[in-house]
Amino acid sequence: MSEPVVVQGTTVASPYDHGVAVQSGSAPISDDFTKGSKQEVRCRDPIFALLLYANVGAICGVVGAYGTAAFEKAFGDANSTVDWAPYLYAAAVTGIFSMVLAGIMFLVMMRIPQFLIKTSLIFVVILSGVWCVIAFVGGNIIGGIIGAVFFALMMCYARAVWSRIPFATCNLVTAMTAVKLNCGVVFASYFFLLLAFGWSILWTIALVGIWDDTITCVVNEAGQNVCTEVNYGILFGMFVSYFFTHQVIQNTIHVTVAGVVGKYCKCTYVYI
């Protein structure tokens, strides 16, 4: 077994009774400390839950009212001036690519958690430096200056956090160990990933339907195709809807995995 990693920090006493004496120089236990208890399972954000259901229901309603007709017109009408098929294909390809990339990154995290944080940080620093060099070589002075600023910032950031990387690495190794011993959480994560993919497809159909219904294009006397102005308020609401639902799905995955890892760390001693 390798030597334990020494991490900078201040010794603090645990508020729990582990049957060991507190070392001298440690912070004293607070007199008003109260040990936590198991919380009841209930919905703690009913307002945002209702907003989520209303959001998904509204998008489904838009798809039923406008989306299907727009795609039937695009795919079935040979005289249609707008081809909506590429938008749907782009959403599908992006979703499939994200699932494949997520799988690859998960395998990388499972294989080399000890080196992943340092490797990622070094990669970002090198990439920012390469961006700066390419910009200057290509004659883009402004881009080179911006790249140099980001490169300097990344160098300063790397130097500031380098001594804390061993602690973060230990946390990552512990978390990946918990995931390995609780593989069901992987299937749960992929379920939510597929849910996010389906949401992207549904939202794209709704957006295409709204766009087709609100935008009218005519050919003027000069033979040019002139379209009405875009309703930016509707577009803004659609993008908020898309972002909000994806954040809910992302945070659901986060708290699920965090709960599994937290329960594992509470019930098991892990030696790294």
Token pair recorded at residue 24? 């001298």
Whether the model pTM is above 0.85: no
Torsion, Cα of 220, 204, 57, 233 (10° steps): -50
pLDDT for the residue 259: 82
Phi/psi at 80 (5° precision)? -65, 135
Q: Do residues 80 and 73 lie in contact, with contact meaning Cβ atoms separated by under 8 Å? A: yes
pLDDT for the residue 244: 93
Residue 3 has pLDDT above 70, yes or no: no
pLDDT for the residue 270: 44
- Round to whole Å and give the CA distance between 200 and 206: 10
Q: Which residue has the higher pLDDT, 164 or 80?
A: 164
Average pLDDT over residues 155-173: 89
Per mean pLDDT, which of 91-100, 149-158, 223-232 is the most reliable? Answer: 149-158
How confident is the prediction for the chain on average, in pLDDT?
A: 77
pLDDT for the residue 11: 54
Residue 23 has pLDDT above 50, yes or no: no
Q: Which residue has the higher pLDDT, 5 or 186?
A: 186
**Smallest Cα–Cα separation from 202: which of 99, 95, 103, 101?**
95
Q: Tens of pLDDT along 27-57?
A: 455 555 566 567 777 777 888 889 999 999 9
Token pair recorded at residue 2? 């390798």
Q: Which residue has the higher pLDDT, 237 or 175?
A: 237
Instruction: Tell me the residue length of the chain.
Output: 272
Average pLDDT over residues 158-167: 89
Q: Which of 6-15, 39-48, 115-124, 182-191 has the lowest mean pLDDT?
A: 6-15
Average pLDDT over residues 130-149: 88
Q: Do residues 132 and 149 lie in contact, with contact meaning Cβ atoms separated by under 8 Å? A: no
Phi/psi at 52 (5° precision)? -65, -50
